[in-house]
Structure 1
Amino acid sequence: GAVALPAADMRLALPDDGTAPTSSSKRTAYDLVSEGFGEGFNGRLVMVVHGDDAQQVQRASASAAAAATGLPDVLAVAPGQASADGRTALLAVVPKSGPSEQATFELVRDLRAKLATTAGATGAEISVTGVTAVGVDVSDKLSDALPVYLVLVVGLGFVLLMLMFRSILVPLKATLGFLLTIGAAFGATVAIFQWGWLASLVGLDTAGPLVSFLPILLIGILFGLAMDYEVFLVSRMREDFVHGDTAKEAVVAGVGHGARVVVAAALIMMSVFAGFVLVEDPIIKSMGFALALGVAVDAFVVRLSIVPAVMSFLGDRAWWMPRWLDRLLPDVDIEGEKLRPLETATSDPAPVGSTVR
């Protein structure tokens, strides 16, 4: 649980050259520009002013420049460049902070809010764009979609596991264990790649925000692997339980038969993902680290330690389901429980003296 705490401070952004390897040419150029002109020159914003005529655009451009200059994180506003017909003008805004810093994100939002008032007063259309502004928009969109995506993935997984195992507590345990896995993976990744803790151990030169699409990628891949490991273990427990074993005997049998499969599968995936940590690119490096750690936590901590302990503690209660819900849900009968009476009937020996035809 403590490993997941840094995840509360997770920041998302599109990558910039400021986090590139120090030996790369683009990082050298970024550092030279920052040293000579300030970090904001690496992430300039662009104000686009459009109106019905040139006079309106000129007035709106002057008002927009004055509004931007009044913001605390703006270093300078370059003079506007008008189009041939004078109906569109571009103004460059140089922030004081770097393109992936939180202050720049706030500047984009504040600038748009302030320019909305200016646009209303002048009647012109005023927009804020540029690579940095696009990065802010993408990060905000993905951050807003992340809770919905997580609820959808976990919710559908819960329903499918409930259909498979005919239980409420088993899928609840599986999904809560997955949330623990995600929390640990996010927390450790934030601590190393965003805060810079132990960054030298993974060969990271400069810490910075995580790439915007990492959480969605991490949730999707780890959820699939986590549910695979869950099914490997619990399906055998369920099969033995419905065929007459006690709950504890079913847990022992399930772990005994499924643990080797889970360990082998986890080691394979960890080896694949850990190989990406050796790449210089910090984006690929962070992806590989998060996935490798997530697989390790889920397989060895959640599925092979917590799951057997919880199943043993719950006993027969692990397979409880309300009768009304059991009647409502379709019975997929994965374990072949309905075939057992038929198998018993066909295997009974014929009575002595009877004729078998």
Structure 2
Amino acid sequence: MTNTTVLISGAGVAGAALGHFLHRDGYDVTVVERAPGLRGSGYAVDFRGAAFDVLDELGILDEIRGHDTAMRGTTLVDVDGAEIGQLPAETFSGDLEVPKPELTKILHRLTESELAYIFDDSITTLTQHDTGVAVEFEHGAPRVFDLVIGADGLFSKVRRLAFGPHERALRHLGMSGAGFTADNILGLDHSGVLQTGVGTAVYAFSAADADRMSVSLSFATDAPALDRRPRSEQEQALKDAFAGAGWVAPQLLKAMSAADDFYFSSSSQVHLDAWSTGRVALVGDAGYCAAPTAGMGTSQALIGARALARALAAADGDHTAAFTAYEAKLRPYVTDNQVKGQEGAAAFGGRGQ
């Protein structure tokens, strides 16, 4: 149907889903991923609304349902850990929640024979011409592609190279935090617990492994400056933020320092006037991250990937028309999700916008 060559940067949800749809439509797709292999980290992701239609179109909905965490809800507690309320399961788990590593493995298995995956490499330069995009890599030989798609997350390399510095696109929502797993000292059973304080929040849940729980420690920040700092500085910022906190905070801080799956990030959104420039476009968090507090990241990645693939198929080779149609179709949905992200950040002690 087409001999169009496409380079996708990022082998996550958006990249793999988009690659599958493009391959189905006859595109020759290469995926470059800076990680040395398939990412096995991440806790739980949830699906809402039209994302189920995308999973069904991918042919993996039933398999995904088989990994449902079956969360029963979240208990709200005060500063001493006493129960003060309950939140229904769908608040954090959406309509369906699965461990992220399971989703990643399923998508990779679906696409590993369809796409040319290149791990442990990264794009270093993009030079657009009338007939293609010349790409240089950190390790691999230079190549030319008809189209380049950034599906490489909040700090997208493609966005930085083609659209400008991160500061132009990122909008910090006033909170940062760390995630890690720890011993299930709270005895959680397919359930979560949430404690919010002045500028801090503790959230923990346990599902697949009864002996372990996933922990999120959040605190108010003025900028995402810590995201790219050494782990020691990130940990110290968390210890400072939770200094004097009661309940299980001291135990969680100790568990944090011992965790081998520690992950730090800030709640930020990506706002761009356009999601494409020439032959380069963005999908998922790279183009329009709504922040984790929106609870829509995975669904938005799937829906965005399908929307872009459908727009390219309908445009019959006219990438400019396709990118315009893709954005017109998806932007209202993204705008709604970004409002949810701002509201969620405010609820967790951030500024919200």
Identify the TM-score tier after normalising by the shorter chain.
Answer: under 0.3
TM-score by length of 1: 0.23
Structure showing greater Rg? 1
TM-score by length of 2: 0.23
